[in-house]
Structure 1
Amino acid sequence: MEFFKPDKVIVLVTEEAEKSEDFTNLQEELGALLEKVSIPSGKSEKELWDIFDCLADRVQSSDEVILDVTHAFRSLPLFSFGVAVYLRRVYDDISVSRIVYGAYEARKENRSPVFDLTPLLDLMDWTSGCEFFLRRSDAEILAQRLRESQSRFWRKKNDVSAEAFPRRLNTVAQKLRILSGALHLGRLREVMGTAHDILPLLKEVAYEAEHYAKPFRRILDEIKREVEDLAYENPDVLDKKNLERQLKMIEYCYKKGLVVQAVTTAREWMVNWLLLKKGEMNWLNRDIREKVEEELNCEAKLFISNKTGPKYADIWDRLRVLRNDVAHCGMNENPSRIDRILMNAEEIIAELKELLKEIKN
């Protein structure tokens, strides 16, 4: 009460706690501020979910919640923490700003410290951010945590010398967001260039991450390994190394569940592959690309008619069908099943690896 000045104090009480002298005293002290909510004691899974409903139902849109677990008992502090994580992650307009615990056992001269347990809540946000990026290449939450880690210390600049404050977390956050966006939009060249820019930043930011963003420091090496496979310093120069990196991105997208991106970029990869085979360096010219696409289409038609011809013609035809089905959202009379799409995409990626071997260094 003294620290936070709440508009309302919701007290969850069991039948036993409601009969206690402590609760009577609390009612007298808080008066109209106090709202009593009766809960079971949490002895079964059903009772725990009843407590979940009691907590979640009392929180309204735009509320700022401060959770005090000082007098919670048994597993309720941990369960309450789980509800706080749920509210924070699911509802954008609800803020769980603090989790506090009054440590009576740590008192000195009849004054008990109040421990701020909010960093545990922040850790859950870090967990979500790291998981989203490593599983789906979605950097939004991770970038938000990095930005917040940097700005939090800069807000304290009047208290401590700014010399020691983090300066690179924001930069890394922005680059990861760009990389994530490029992957999700299938921007082959931007992925390679951005990944190349990120690698030295990951090395430079290691010290700051160790001191100001420890959860990020734990996954730095894994991020570096993934980014290394996508990075290329000359993304606008078509050579075998460029094709290798493009194919790494296609495989990367497929493994992350970005199947649409993997399939659509695979089609462009085949155009790039034939352009490089022909020695055509003006590979980004639209007219030149259309001519090569038409050549691939003609080869595919001949392969279908005669069942003979270069292997890449068959790959192109199957990729064309797969890409059209995916890009047009299955809007045809005989759309492929999801499992068939995944299997076909995996098979084609393996065949593209064989085509790459035909390119001389």
Structure 2
Amino acid sequence: MENKNVERQQKKYKYMTALGAGGYQEFVYEYCGVRNENATRFVQAAMLEILRKKEIVVDEFIVLLTERSRNETWEKTIIRQSNSIKERLKKKNPELFKSVESELEYDDCWKDTKEYDGLKAVLENLGGITLTVIDISDGKSIDEQWDIYQKISNEIVSREGEVNLIFDITNGFRTIPMLAVSALDCIRRIENVNVEYIFYGAMEAKSDDKIVPVFDFTMLLDVMEWSQALRMFQDYGISEPLCEIARNGIEESKNSKTGDLKNISESDTWKELIGAIDTFSKTIETGRGKYDKTRSNKENCIALAALEVVRTIDIVIDMEFEKENVLENTLLIPLIPILEQIRVSMQEFVKEDNFEIGLQIIKWCRDKKKVQQGLTALEETVTTYVCKLLNDLGVGVDEVNKNDRMDIVNKAVTGILHNRKDTRNKLKYSEEKYERFTKVKGELKKIVDEQKHKNKELTLMGLVDKIKKLRNDINHFGFSSKSNQCNDIIEEFERCSLDFEKLVCTYESEKRE
């Protein structure tokens, strides 16, 4: 922690802010227990003083100005007295007002406005800082709003070398904070830009003795970063962004009481969760669909990897709600709804039935556009379902046993599909194994013949044929003789997977009848 604070102190920072045209009142500001000495109308001047006390060096001040804020807040400060003596007298006694107006014209208490030093003069008096002005529009239209966004972005990315940025969102047009946070979220992905602080002077939270707290909302960018990464996993099944954030150690917001940096990626529980999500993603990518009670673990079985994600999400959520200090869990609280969605989707995989697990993997891959993994899952789950059908018919086959699955069931399916005569000598099976093979093939042939008899358009063998051709095409890297277009492969995978689900529903319905 000490090293991080030293590193921050050695950097030089750019302080960017916007000014409004309102006449600001004088306050003392406080950030992380440090206050500026004298009351000031400008939170920016107060923060520069506070940062110097904390040995944080700001070498440039960048201000966004409309024409009005330049004239009424930057060059000089104009305070409009809505309840001046002049206004009150004009309303209560118009005749007396006329008789004294010319005599009191230059008296301060008579004027509608008062003038003070603008922020420019205040900063120049502080010294040791370069002032940069960016003229912006009033933001009264979408085009003007985008122009402001572009100017914020361009000003930062145009700098050479590393840019360590502080953005103050206290003042300016009400949409400035939203535009700024959006722009900062984009530009901080540029290698040389570091968004270190986002300050907000909370006048609405001032104390009775007029001390205004300054909050650091840098955590808003962290929440966006984490939520985007979690959403990438939930929507597309991609875990790499989460792992990258964890590796880079994205910092949580500064604790408003101590100023110490928090880092949720350093939490053992959070690391465990990210690791579990990454493992689940890898088990999908590498097709670890098989569940075997005696041999499976979370790194070679999708169902057990999903169970680990559920377990760690439960721990993280329970841990966050048990914390007494709200400041400690500000970053994770907005992420909990996404975590709960991920938990629900992971729970669908937590099964001990290979067929049910396979169906869920097919659906996941279809939804996430993972075609190659989905085709592998589809072909293998069809085989698992054939094993299930055979067991329902009293033909005992073990779906997780390689000999039963590959040598008996798969070869029987291929033999029927290609109308092939599989002799014992050709297969090189023992008498016992060949007897089992013949029985399996005979039972499957009955299912095929029954479908032909019912004249069904959607048949098991027809679907198997499509899936095998499709998987063969995609696994040969486009070098097969009948190579399909990419979009055709995606659409055909989706059709085949939905047809399989439909076929299963039909079979199960007929079986109940």
Q: Measure the CA separation in 2 of the matches of 1:352 and 1:173.
A: 33
Matches within 5 A, 1:186-225: 186-189=287-290, 190-210=301-321, 211=323, 212=329, 213-225=332-344
Q: Measure the CA separation in 1 of the matches of 2:397 and 2:407.
A: 13
Task: Label 1:73 to 1:283 Cα distance change in 2 as closer, same or farther (>3 A).
Answer: same
Determine which structure has the larger strand proportion and give its number.
2
**Larger CA Rg, structure 1 vs 2:** 2
Residue 6 (1) aligns with residue 125 (2): no
Aligned to 2:281: 180
Tell me the amino acid that sits aligned with residue 303 of structure 2: M
Task: Label 1:95 to 1:248 Cα distance change in 2 as closer, same or farther (>3 A).
Answer: same
Equivalent pair of 1:166/1:208 in contact (CA under 8 Å): no
Task: Label 1:98 to 1:43 Cα distance change in 2 as closer, same or farther (>3 A).
Answer: same
Q: Measure the CA separation in 2 of the matches of 1:52 and 1:334.
A: 51
Equivalent pair of 2:61/2:129 in contact (CA under 8 Å): no
Aligned to 1:37: 134
Task: Label 1:152 to 1:49 Cα distance change in 2 as closer, same or farther (>3 A).
Answer: closer
Aligned to 1:250: 362
Equivalent pair of 2:276/2:309 in contact (CA under 8 Å): yes
Give the deviation of 1:183 after TM superposition: 2.0
Aligned to 1:99: 198
Aligned to 1:47: 144
Equivalent pair of 1:13/1:37 in contact (CA under 8 Å): yes
Tell me the amino acid that sits aligned with residue 136 of structure 1: Y
Aligned to 1:289: 406
Tell me the amino acid that sits aligned with residue 284 of structure 2: L
Q: Measure the CA separation in 2 of the matches of 1:140 and 1:55.
A: 30
RMSD of equivalent CA atoms? 3.9
TM-score normalised by length of structure 1? 0.77
- Once the two structures are overlaid, the 10-residue window that deviates more, 140-149 or 219-228, is 140-149
Give the deviation of 1:133 after TM superposition: 2.3
Aligned to 1:18: 70
SS in 2 for 1:205: helix
Equivalent pair of 2:169/2:177 in contact (CA under 8 Å): yes
Q: Measure the CA separation in 2 of the matches of 1:201 and 1:188.
A: 21
Determine which structure has the larger helix proportion and give its number.
1
Task: Label 1:39 to 1:332 Cα distance change in 2 as closer, same or farther (>3 A).
Answer: farther
Equivalent pair of 2:197/2:216 in contact (CA under 8 Å): yes
Tell me the amino acid that sits aligned with residue 57 of structure 2: K
Equivalent pair of 2:398/2:405 in contact (CA under 8 Å): no
Q: Measure the CA separation in 2 of the matches of 1:217 and 1:68.
A: 28
Task: Label 1:343 to 1:106 Cα distance change in 2 as closer, same or farther (>3 A).
Answer: closer
Q: Measure the CA separation in 2 of the matches of 1:280 and 1:246.
A: 18
TM-score normalised by length of structure 2? 0.56
Give the deviation of 1:280 after TM superposition: 4.6
Give the deviation of 1:100 after TM superposition: 0.5
Aligned to 2:223: 123
Give the deviation of 1:337 after TM superposition: 4.9
Identity of aligned residues (%): 24
Unaligned runs of 5+ in 2: 1-47, 77-117, 261-265, 291-300, 324-328, 421-447, 452-458
The partner residue of 1:231 within 350, 356, 362 is 350
SS in 2 for 1:41: coil
- Once the two structures are overlaid, the 10-residue window that deviates more, 41-50 or 336-345, is 336-345
Give the deviation of 1:255 after TM superposition: 1.5
SS in 1 for 2:57: coil
Task: Label 1:220 to 1:18 Cα distance change in 2 as closer, same or farther (>3 A).
Answer: closer
Aligned to 2:269: 168
Size of the aligned set, in residue pairs, is: 340
